[in-house]
Amino acid sequence: MTIPRRVRIVGPLPPPVHGAAEVTKLLASALKARGVSVEISSTAPREGAKGLRYHASRTRRIWDAIRTCGGEDGAIYLSAAGGLGLAYDILIVAVARLKRRPLFIHHHSFAYLDRRSVLGALLFRVAGRRAVHICLCERMESLIRRRYGASETCTLSNAAFRVPAVGTSAAAAGRPLRIGHLGNLSAEKGLDLVVAVGEKLAARGMEVVLAGPAVDARAAALVADLQGRPGSRFEVLGPVYGDRKESFYRGIDVFLFPTLYANEAQPLVVFEALAHGVPVIAFGRGCIPEQVGGAGLVVEPGHDFVVPATSAIERWAGNPAMLAALKADAVRRAEAQHADGLRQLAALCARLAATDASTAVC
């Protein structure tokens, strides 16, 4: 007997805005557009909650998700957390298993893939052999199979959710290059390294544009200091959305993303930069090497970032033809990855919608 075309989505939804939450929201929209009945249990804590309130809010939402997962039929799609958040996910997975619900687990973190973890091992063990593990890229799939022995995998690139822009960023002819960084501004996301690169390039008249909210007091103090310097070559935009985000990408020539974030997987901002024809210089964490390819520079994590990034930008500034070729390659990569992502998205949606009792996890 075929289970009704219904999917229970369990995962974070904005706010707060971050990559996994955005993907959860967009996947739900894609399923609804295909006529699938979608029910959503958001696991995101209440916006602004901290300390005990954060954990109380998160626990309450996890409990609601567990309760709903146990009282329905159809497939469960789980957006897996990173770090200690996996403990909550294990409870949800256990309920899905007990209720014989078809289970799809979407991984958005490399923290338990770069090295094997106890919680990661328990998640895969409780999920069972028939759970389908959704991977972001080939490297993630390889690590999931090697670290935890998963056999049922499929790939869904985040590129599916970022439509390539038309055209490229502003040409740098006759002016110094403009360097951009967008994200939740923090040392963990590479703010200090971006500032260090910008300070080295300032002598050549280059500017650095910072976009996004400062997420802690240290980052806010650093941003305020940059804004207060006489003749500062740093422009601070704050959070940008819609047309302001488009203007940000179209006004820069190089995008820096020296992330140190342990959970970093396949950042949407890298796809956005490439789609606007902006070469990317980033640490090669998670899926980033596959994202960037030859459309920029990937620095090995743990190595110095400032010197190779500065050298590359100076080289591109002195060779407009090289920079133009990188911009064109960035657009081609974005278009190709987006097309692949759309095919992967269609295949996953069809698989979620058509799941029947013969594929139940048991």
pLDDT along the chain (362 residues), means of 10: 70 86 94 92 78 80 84 87 91 92 96 96 96 97 96 96 70 82 97 97 95 96 92 94 94 97 96 96 98 98 98 96 95 95 95 62 38
Same domain? 185 vs 331 = yes
Residues 93, 88: Cα–Cα separation, whole Å: 9
Domain, as residue range, for 228: 178-338
Single out the residue in 155, 190, 220 at which a domain terminates: 155
Same domain? 140 vs 204 = no
CB 102 within 8 A of CB 72: no
Nearest to 295 by CA among 136, 164, 182, 205: 164
pLDDT of res. 52: 79
Contacts of residue 317, Cβ cutoff 8 Å, sequence gap at least 6: 172, 176, 177, 204, 206, 323
Q: What is the CATH number of the domain that holds 282?
A: 3.40.50.2000
**Number of domains present in the structure of the chain:** 2
Over residues 39-80, the pLDDT tens digits come to 999 998 776 667 778 778 888 888 888 888 766 678 999 999
Model confidence, pTM: 0.92
Residues 307, 296: Cα–Cα separation, whole Å: 15
The amino acid at 76: I
Q: Give the DSSP per-residue string, 215-266.
A: -SHHHHHHHHHHHHSTT--EEEEES--HHHHHHHHHT-SEEEE----TT---
Same domain? 54 vs 125 = yes
CB 262 within 8 A of CB 83: yes
Tell me, yes or no, whether 213 lies in a domain. Answer: yes
Query: Do β-strands 37-42 and 6-11 pair in parallel, antiparallel, or remain unpaired?
Result: parallel
Same domain? 192 vs 306 = yes
- The answer to whether the peptide bond before residue 16 is cis (omega within 30 degrees of 0) is yes
Same domain? 111 vs 73 = yes
Alpha-carbon dihedral angle through residues 273, 279, 282, 288, given to the nearest 10 degrees: 70
Same domain? 189 vs 304 = yes
Over residues 145-191, the pLDDT tens digits come to 999 999 999 999 999 998 777 666 666 667 899 999 999 999 999 99
pLDDT of res. 68: 83
Tell me, yes or no, whether 359 lies in a domain. Answer: no
